[in-house]
Every structure is written in structure tokens, then in C-alpha cells.
Amino acid sequence: MVKLRDIAQQTGYSISTVSKALSGKGRMSDETRNNILSVAKSLGYTPDFYAKSMASKTKTFVLGLIVPDITNPFFAYLTRGVERACGEACLLVLMDSFRSLHREEQLIRAARFYGVNGIVVGNSRVNDELIDEISKYVPVVIFDKECKCDNVVSIVVDNYYGAYLATKHLVENGCKHIIHFGGTQELYVSLQRAQGYEAAIKESGLKSHIVRVGYAFDDGYKAAKKLLNERNQFDGAFCMNDLVALGVMKALKEEGRKVPEDAAIVGFDDDKQLCEVTVPSLSSVRQPVEMMGETAGKMLLELINGQSNTKKVIFSPSLVVRDSSARR
């Protein structure tokens, strides 16, 4: 890497003169400046990021963001929110764990090593001990997961309430047999959503019916297909996410059931691209992901500046009603 010193040697000027020539700040003759500039260019000089930041007064914070999969819209919106919080004051370093737990752990450790000023961890599967350890060195905000560690701020959405809302909506629409597709034990959020569903069902006096599925399109499709083939009728479905909901919808169509006339469907996540584009469009529970991301960023900055006294921020989801659950 070519540095100021090299240019100084080439031109015969001092390092400081070279620096001033390049930044356009000092006093010098045009001849000198042009000379330096041309040599700098011919040598292919690029300033050292770190040295520059060190020496100059204005410090730029660096925030790390670790997500399991940037191609998932949920995390893309999260990223956007954090970026918004960064504004001009911070640089955002994005790290994608590619859904690998191992890599996620690596990244979290690396974040400390790289010396970023703080990290936001999105929907992590790593255990609390690692978080606890890292948070001793670097401020941490954890997204979509509760964390008991000290010095760690959690940003979560009230999944229970969202599920309750969605189920209640189906009840009020006159559905008598509402199935919940979801409830896998693996993820904390899916548990909460199942509980919200149960609560609303209990309240209405109907019978609860949970079909355990994963979180992919095919999971919903196959589960619903099986159910329908077994002559298990249902007139309402609350699904743990939008993909599953679309899978269920496809199965219903194939079996000749009309949505929403024969069965109403509500998803979760409100992935706009997805929900608004299908026929019929899909009702869904919306989380204010981008705003949550922005909050995560802000909380992290507070944490870095040592002004934070918040431990947890809970956001309320809302129900977006579209055609798939329109009132009959």
C-alpha cells in the first residue's frame, strides 16, 4: 500500500505538505500542489481509512449488524431501519450468517475483534452465554429475542398479541373451525403465536386445533393438503407466517375451496411484496420492522454513549385485513 511517505519521497516534499496538498487545506504554490497530485495519482495512492479517522477530529462510529439472511425481507427491513438510525454519524457493517449457527457465533466474536463500537444481533439462535460474554466488551442490542443478560437491550414484538388479534378477527368473521398452522417448538416466536391463538379461541368458546408445521411454503401446502384429503374441514386458518399461509391457500384452491368464501386465511409478518401480490391478497399481522430496526440502532447508540437505562422495548403488531379474510 502506497502512503503519504512514498509520495513525499518521490516528490521531495514533506509528509505534511503532501497531506495538505491532497486535502486541499494548506498554503502552497499551484506548482507544488499539482506536482504532488499527479505523483499521488500515478502511484495509485489511497488514504488509509483507519489512520485518517484516527488523526482527524471527527470520529465516525461503526455499528455491526448480524442477520441470519439478508434476502429475507424481514431482515432487509430491519437493516434499513438500523441504517436509518445510523444517519450520517455511523457506518453500518452488515454481516450475514447465512443461517449458520456456527458462522453466527464466529461473527459475534469477530465483531468484538474488529472493534466495532456496538452490534445489533437479529433473531439470534446463539445461547445467552456468548451474548453475555461479548456484551462485556461491546454493547449489544438483540432483536426479536428476549435476553436476560445485563447490558443487553432487547427489541421484541408482542407475538402473543398479534396472534390474538388475527384469531379474534377470524372469529368475528364468523369462522367456526379455525386451525392454527405453526407452533413448532424450535422458535420462541412460534410458541408465543400459538399461545395467542389459544387465548382467542378459548375466549370465543371454539375448539383449538393446532397443526405443527415448519415455516416454508411447502410446509403449509402439505399440511393443509393432508388435512383436506382426510376430510378435515376448516373455515379459518391462522398461519405462523405468510409463506405458510400461501401454501395453505394453494392447497385450498386445488381442492376446490374458495378463499375467503369457504375459508378465511390470515398470515403473519405482512411481507408486502408477498401479501399484496397474490390473488386473493393475503391478510396478515404486521410488525413495524423498519421502525423496530431504527429503534434498535438508536438504543445501541445510547448504549455506546452510556446513557441507556432501557432493558427491553416491546412493539405492538397490527392486523392488516386484505381479501383473504374479507367479511363474508
Partner DNA sequence: TCTTCTTGCGCAAACGTTTTCTCAAAATTA
Partner DNA sequence: TAATTTTGAGAAAACGTTTGCGCAAGAAGA
- Cβ atoms of 143 and 291 closer than 8 Å: no
| Interaction residues for a second copy, span 265-304 (CB under 8 A) | 271, 273-274, 276-279, 304
Give the DSSP letter of residue 62: E
Q: Which is nearer to a second copy, 166 or 243 (CB)?
A: 243
As measured in angstroms, the least distance from the Cβ of 22 to DNA is 6
Which one of a second copy, DNA, none interacts with residue 5, CB within 5 to 8 A by kind?
A: DNA
Which one of a second copy, DNA, none interacts with residue 250, CB within 5 to 8 A by kind?
A: a second copy
How many whole angstroms from its chain centre is CA 136? Answer: 24
| 54 sits near DNA (criterion: CB under 7 A) | yes
Is residue 232 helix, strand or coil?
coil
Nearest to 92 by CA among 80, 74, 103, 100: 80
| 29 sits near DNA (criterion: CB under 7 A) | yes
Which one of DNA, a second copy, none interacts with residue 101, CB within 5 to 8 A by kind?
A: none
| Interaction residues for a second copy, span 46-105 (CB under 8 A) | 46-54, 59-62, 70-73, 76-77, 79-80, 83, 88, 91-96, 98
* Helices marked H in the chain: 4-11, 15-23, 30-43, 49-55, 73-86, 101-114, 128-134, 159-172, 188-204, 217-229, 242-254, 272-275, 289-304
C-alpha cell at 41: 495519482
Cα separation, 62 vs 302, whole angstroms: 14
Print the binding letters for residues 3-22 with DNA: x by CB under 7 A, - otherwise.
xxx------xxxxxx-xx-x
Give the residues lining the site for DNA (CB under 7 A): 1, 3-5, 12-17, 19-20, 22-23, 25-29, 31-32, 45, 47-48, 51-52, 54-57
